[in-house]
Amino acid sequence: MFEMVRVGEERLFGEIIEIRGGDYSVQVYEETEGIGPGQPVYRTGEALSVELGPGLIKSIYDGVQRPLDKLQADFGDFIVRGAERPALDRSAQWSFVPTAKVGDEVQAGDVLGTVQESKLVVHRIMVPFGQKGRVAKIGAVTGNVETEVAVLDTANGKVSVNMVQRWPVRMGRKVARKLPPTVPLVTGQRVVDMFFPLAKGGTACVPGPFGSGKTVVQHQLAKWSDANIIVYVGCGERGNEMTDVLMEFPELKDPTSGEPLMERTVLVANTSNMPVAAREASVFTGITIAEYFRDMGYSVALMADSTSRWAEAMREISGRLEEMPGEEGYPAYLGSRIASFYERSGNVVCLGSDNRQGSLSLIGAVSPPGGDLSEPVVQATLRVVKVFWGLDDKLAFARHFPAINWLTSYSLYQDVIDAYANETYSKDWEASRKRAMGILQRESELEELVRLVGIDALAHEDRVLMQAAKMVREDFLHQNAFDERDSYTSMPKQLRLLNVILHFYDEARKAMKEGAELAGLLSLKTMDDVARAKLIPEDKPSEFDALKERITIEIKALPRN
């Protein structure tokens, strides 16, 4: 089962997906036109595997790790059937710098040396899984990925080590042990970082109907999250959306280093017009590459857009195999297959003797038909992930982006991240967040009353709360992905911005008790300054204090009854 084969005279990619007696069912990853009875099938002796080594960063692969840029250079804009090129360029030269020395006792996962793969990524060449022994030979060398960099003396004799490993994609890479996630994956998106945070090594689900902004949310997370490595899997997405990624990423700058984002990114593109079987493989190809970088001790974030297309590919293959269908025609093993994907996330101690720690965070977009969140793929995903960012088409149609509904979304990492943020950023973090969320929830309750009797029937205290909630929604949660300053907001700036709004609310309530008129409180000139506060540069925190001072002065100047 799952052995890779080559089918026909053109040697098309295929995988054994069913065995009945002496009959083998092969799923071919390409167009099968012209294949007939009697044509040969060639065995490869291994499961679908990926090549792991220097050259992954900045690469663009299809679902079975064929390098699309190399195929385009050789065959043009469309992949020719049977086209094949090594996943790692054999003509590229890499300089290996040893960190181990002759005589060292090493085991699987130990770092033998490094290669400067890109400006942002130092590639660590590790002892392959299953090997253990003493370093018999090692030295600085320049060559391609197949060049020998070390020789190990093992119990089974001498073993040559080069810069490339192969790993079957359906099997998770081994780790020493898993640790609980404790540190936030900072994304720069205020609604995410403040209200529904994701921890490094955590899992998140982004479901939403067509047009609600799933892909833009994924793009933003890929651009701005503070992971060391980004793996972006376009699984069954439209070609023009993947084109946006390919055009944007080389031009975008990494916020911490100023280098192009592609210097830390791997793209796996399996668009909707590519073979459906390769779509099912693309998710596993992406996560195996991500695990490899995690094993080096990096923080890795994988974006899968979208897992619904992956599930549809499973349904199609299951139907061809005449398997018993489950709910809505999906295979009965849909839930366990989705769980096996998300379970490969985690904050881990990597294999090796140096106690390296790495993390792999998974963010999967789900595209339920008609936005129905009760359908099987969404429900199977929600059973295994800990963060739910529910996208709302009503918010999207009202031009509120990111269109994450703050009343239905949740994060099970909230307590852990609150404790971290209280200690790292400010002791007021958790209190400010809870107050702001309480204001939004109270606004939701009052909206029902407003629809029935009108806003003028509300008590003045509730009118002030409605104004504060509007400021939280429009001046804090609303974020422009295409504005240079608003696209990313650091955690300290997020807290300052939220505290300005809460300061207005506190001062306004105090003034109400002292007899200030409601109309004056709702028409302060500083309201416009609060709306523009999100554009205050990161390096000018004093402007937030000055804005609070102006709010206090203007409210005190209002006449009292």
pLDDT in tens, 70-110: 998 888 887 788 888 999 999 999 999 999 999 999 999 99
Q: Alpha helix locations (H) across 148-299?
A: 190, 214-224, 239-248, 276-295
Calculate mean pLDDT across residues 122-132: 95
> Quick one: how many helices (H) and strands (E) in the chain?
16, 24
Q: How far apart are CA 202 and CA 55, in angstroms?
A: 27
Instruction: Give the pLDDT confidence score for residue 244 in this predicted structure.
Output: 79
Instruction: Give the pLDDT confidence score for residue 369 in this predicted structure.
Output: 87
Which band of pLDDT confidence, cut at 50, 70 and 90, is reported for residue 150?
very high
Instruction: Give the pLDDT confidence score for residue 371 in this predicted structure.
Output: 85
- Mean residue pLDDT of the chain comes to 92
Instruction: Give the pLDDT confidence score for residue 162 in this predicted structure.
Output: 96
Contact 409, 196 (CB under 8 A): yes
Angle between helices 276-295 and 307-320 (to 10 degrees): 130
From the list 215, 207, 265, the residue with the least C-alpha distance to 61 is 265
Residue 492 reports pLDDT greater than 90? yes
Percent of the chain clearing pLDDT 90 (strictly above): 75
Output phi, psi for 106, to 5 deg: -130, 160
Domain boundaries, the chain: 1-47, 94-163, 177-412, 429-556
Residue 411 reports pLDDT greater than 90? yes
User: CATH fold of 177-412, please?
Assistant: Rossmann fold (3.40.50)
Alpha carbon 150 to chain centroid, angstroms: 35
Q: Give me the residue label for tokens 């804005």.
A: 547
If DSSP codes are grouped into helix, strand and coil, which group holds residue 546?
Answer: helix
Does the domain at residues 429-556 carry the CATH identifier 1.10.10.10? no
Q: What is the pLDDT of residues 249-261, one digit of tens each?
A: 777 777 777 888 8
Instruction: Give the pLDDT confidence score for residue 475 in this predicted structure.
Output: 96
Q: How far apart are CA 63 and CA 274, in angstroms?
A: 9
Residue type, 93: Q
Structure tokens at 360: 């792999």
Which band of pLDDT confidence, cut at 50, 70 and 90, is reported for residue 348?
very high
Instruction: Give the pLDDT confidence score for residue 320 in this predicted structure.
Output: 83
Calculate mean pLDDT across residues 334-349: 96
Instruction: Give the pLDDT confidence score for residue 387 in this predicted structure.
Output: 98
**Environment class of 9 (CB within 10 Å of its CB; exposed 0-12, middle 13-18, buried 19+):** exposed
Calculate mean pLDDT across residues 474-488: 92
Instruction: Give the pLDDT confidence score for residue 462 in this predicted structure.
Output: 94
Calculate mean pLDDT across residues 261-269: 91
Q: How far apart are CA 193 and CA 209, in angstroms?
A: 23
pTM of this structure: 0.93
Q: How far apart are CA 56 and CA 58, in angstroms?
A: 6
Instruction: Give the pLDDT confidence score for residue 295 in this predicted structure.
Output: 97
Structure tokens at 248: 């944007």
From the list 342, 307, 314, the residue with the least C-alpha distance to 328 is 314
Q: What is the pLDDT of residues 180-204, one digit of tens each?
A: 999 999 999 999 999 999 999 999 9
Written as one string, the DSSP assignment of 281-329 is: HHHHHHHHHHHHHHHTT-EEEEEEETHHHHHHHHHHHHHHTTPPB-GGG
Which band of pLDDT confidence, cut at 50, 70 and 90, is reported for residue 223?
confident
Calculate mean pLDDT across residues 257-271: 87
Residue type, 135: V
Residue 482 reports pLDDT greater than 90? no
Residue type, 486: D
Q: How far apart are CA 51 and CA 54, in angstroms?
A: 10
Residue 305 reports pLDDT greater than 90? no
Query: Which neighbouring-strand residues pair with 165?
Result: 52
From the list 195, 202, 192, 269, the residue with the least C-alpha distance to 224 is 192
Which band of pLDDT confidence, cut at 50, 70 and 90, is reported for residue 535?
very high
Q: What is the pLDDT of residues 104-120, one digit of tens each?
A: 999 999 999 999 999 99
If DSSP codes are grouped into helix, strand and coil, which group holds residue 508?
Answer: helix
DSSP-derived pairing of the beta strands 132-138 and 150-154: antiparallel
Instruction: Give the pLDDT confidence score for residue 13 in this predicted structure.
Output: 87
Question: Which of 124-138, 259-273, 348-362, 492-506 has the least mean pLDDT?
Answer: 259-273
Buried b or exposed e, range 20-48, using 16+ CB within 10 angstroms? eeeeeebbbbbebeebeeeeeeeeeeebb
Question: Which of 72-76, 462-466, 510-514 has the least mean pLDDT?
Answer: 72-76
Contact 98, 138 (CB under 8 A): yes
User: CATH fold of 94-163, please?
Assistant: OB fold (Dihydrolipoamide Acetyltransferase, E2P) (2.40.50)
Q: What is the pLDDT of residues 175-186, one digit of tens each?
A: 999 999 999 999
Angle between helices 307-320 and 334-342 (to 10 degrees): 140
Contact 134, 102 (CB under 8 A): no
Which band of pLDDT confidence, cut at 50, 70 and 90, is reported for residue 299?
very high
Q: What is the pLDDT of residues 9-60, one digit of tens each?
A: 889 989 998 899 999 999 888 888 888 899 999 999 999 999 999 999 999 9
Calculate mean pLDDT across residues 317-328: 89
The domain 1-47: what is its CATH number?
Answer: 2.40.30.20
Calculate mean pLDDT across residues 442-465: 91
Contact 365, 214 (CB under 8 A): yes
Q: How far apart are CA 211 and CA 391, in angstroms?
A: 10
Which band of pLDDT confidence, cut at 50, 70 and 90, is reported for residue 219?
confident
Which band of pLDDT confidence, cut at 50, 70 and 90, is reported for residue 360?
very high
Instruction: Give the pLDDT confidence score for residue 250 in this predicted structure.
Output: 76
Which band of pLDDT confidence, cut at 50, 70 and 90, is reported for residue 211?
confident
From the list 465, 394, 459, the residue with the least C-alpha distance to 436 is 465
